[in-house]
Homo-oligomer: A and B are copies of this chain.
Amino acid sequence: MASFTRRIPEGDNRERSVCAECGYVAYENPKVVVGSVVAADGRILMCRRAIEPRKGFWTLPAGYLELGETLEEGAAREAMEEAEAAIAIDGILGVFSIARIGQVQVIFRARFAAAGPPSFAPGPESEDVQLFAWDEIPWRDIAFPSVRWALDAWRSAETGGLGRPAGNPADDPRGVHRMSPSMADGPMADGKEETAL
């Protein structure tokens, strides 16, 4: 396997990982996660993760954008892969920076593409997929803080047009906090502020 050392490549101004064997410079750039809050009659599509990290916890259909995709195409692909849901995208709900792990997340508001009863099922990376009313969301078993940020953004925009996208919340402007027990209580559950961790 590759054995990397840290040094500044010629013509660069930052230390990068360079393979000691072959000289390959592994530019480690932030990755883009695309996802969506897919709603039908006020209920939100969520997936219980079948894989680590946070196996068994609930998330939104989301994942890494691939080369050659637009943001919208990536979000639609993830909804199909993780929830077997064909979706129609409305617009951007939130744009989040998770600096701790080098992620940028772009989360869309979406609906099921077809009329009639919503069609969905667990994909290979999901143990379960369900539609939850707001009060039924398993707040204590949310996979990642940004899932809650996206749900909050959806709630704020629920009935109206989409405006300025939500950014990171005021208590985590750089996206550096891990999920903490108090963060899992849900914003509407008890009104408590998240504590930093």
Interface residues of A (CB under 8 A from B): 1-3, 14, 19, 21-24, 26, 28-32, 64-73, 91-92, 95, 97, 99, 102, 104, 106, 161-165, 167-168, 173-175
CB distance from A49 to the nearest CB of B (A): 16
Q: Within 8 Å CB of A71, what residues of B? A: 95, 97, 104
Q: Decide: A165 and B32 in contact? CB cutoff 8 A.
A: no
The complex places the Cα of A91 from the Cα of B163 at a distance, in Å, of 12
Measured CB to CB, the closest approach of chain B to A196, in angstroms, equals: 16
Closest partner residue, chain B, to A1 (CB atom): B23
Q: Can you list 22 A-B contacts (CB < 8 A)?
A: A2-B19, A2-B24, A14-B66, A19-B22, A21-B21, A22-B22, A24-B24, A24-B26, A29-B29, A29-B67, A30-B67, A30-B69, A65-B104, A67-B102, A68-B102, A71-B95, A71-B104, A73-B99, A73-B174, A92-B165, A104-B104, A163-B163
- Identify which of B73, B99, B164 contacts A69 (C-beta below 8 A): B99
User: Distance (Å) between the CB of A159 and the closest chain B CB?
Assistant: 16
Q: Contact between A30 and B28 (Cβ–Cβ < 8 Å)?
A: no
Distance in Å from the Cβ of A93 to the closest Cβ of chain B?
A: 10
Enumerate chain B residues within 8 angstroms of A164, measured Cβ to Cβ. Answer: 91-92, 161-165
In the complex, besides A19-B24, A24-B26, A69-B97, 12 extra interface pairs with C-beta distance below 8 angstroms are: A1-B23, A2-B19, A26-B26, A29-B32, A29-B64, A30-B32, A65-B104, A67-B102, A69-B99, A70-B174, A71-B104, A164-B164
Query: Which residues from chain B contact A22 at a C-beta distance below 8 Å?
Result: 1-3, 19, 21-22, 24
